[in-house]
Amino acid sequence: MPNWHMAPMGEAALLIEHGSPEVAVANSAVIELGRRLHQCAAQAQIRGIESIIPAMHSVLIRFDPLQCSRVELERLVWQVADETASQHVNATANDLAVHSLNVIQIGVRYGGEAGPDLDDVARHTGLAPQDIIALHTAQPMRVLMMGFAPGFAYLGPLPVALNIPRRSTPRAAVPAGSVAIAAGMTGVYPARLPGGWHIIGRTDDVLFDPAQQPPSRIQPAGGVQFVRIGNDDWI
Partner 1 sequence: MSQLQILNPGAVMTVQDWGRPGWEAYGVPRGGAMDPFALQASNVLVGNTFDAAAIEITGGGAEIEFVQSTVVAITGADFEPRLNHAEMPLWQATFVRAGARLSFGARRWGARSYLAVMGGIDVPLVLGSRSTYLPSRFGGLQGRPLQMDDVLSVGPGRDTAHLAGRRWPMNARPAYTVEPVLRLLPGPHVDLIAKDVLANLIRQPFKLALTSNRMGYRLEGATFPHTTSLPSLGVLPGVIQIPPDGAPILLMMDAQTTGGYPIVANVIQADLPLAAQLLPGDTMRFTLIPESDAVADYRTLNAWLRQCARELALEDEGIWMAANAR
Enumerate binding residues for partner 1 (CB under 8 A): 7-13, 15, 17, 23, 34, 50-60, 62, 65-66, 69-70, 145-154, 191, 208, 210-211, 213-216, 220
Which of 191, 229 has the CB closer to partner 1? Answer: 191
Which of 166, 228 has the CB closer to partner 1? Answer: 166
CB of 3 to partner 1, least distance (A): 15
Which of 110, 154 has the CB closer to partner 1? Answer: 154
Asked if residues 82 and 63 have their Cβ atoms less than 8 Å apart, the reply is: no
CB of 208 to partner 1, least distance (A): 8
Asked if residues 59 and 43 have their Cβ atoms less than 8 Å apart, the reply is: no
| Stated length of the chain | 235
Which of 215, 230 has the CB closer to partner 1? Answer: 215
CB of 171 to partner 1, least distance (A): 17
For 19, the 3-state DSSP assignment is coil
CB of 218 to partner 1, least distance (A): 8
Which of 54, 177 has the CB closer to partner 1? Answer: 54
CB of 147 to partner 1, least distance (A): 3
Residues 6+ apart with CB under 8 A from 227: 105, 106, 107, 108, 137
Q: What are the DSSP E strand ranges found in the chain?
A: 4-8, 13-18, 49-54, 58-63, 103-110, 141-146, 153-156, 171-174, 178-182, 185-188, 193-195, 198-202, 223-228
Measured in degrees and rounded to the nearest 5, phi and psi for residue 116 equal -65, -20
Which of 212, 235 has the CB closer to partner 1? Answer: 212
State the amino acid at position 202 in one-letter form: R
Asked if residues 78 and 66 have their Cβ atoms less than 8 Å apart, the reply is: no
What gap in Å lies between CA 36 and CA 79, rounded to an integer? 11
CB of 211 to partner 1, least distance (A): 7
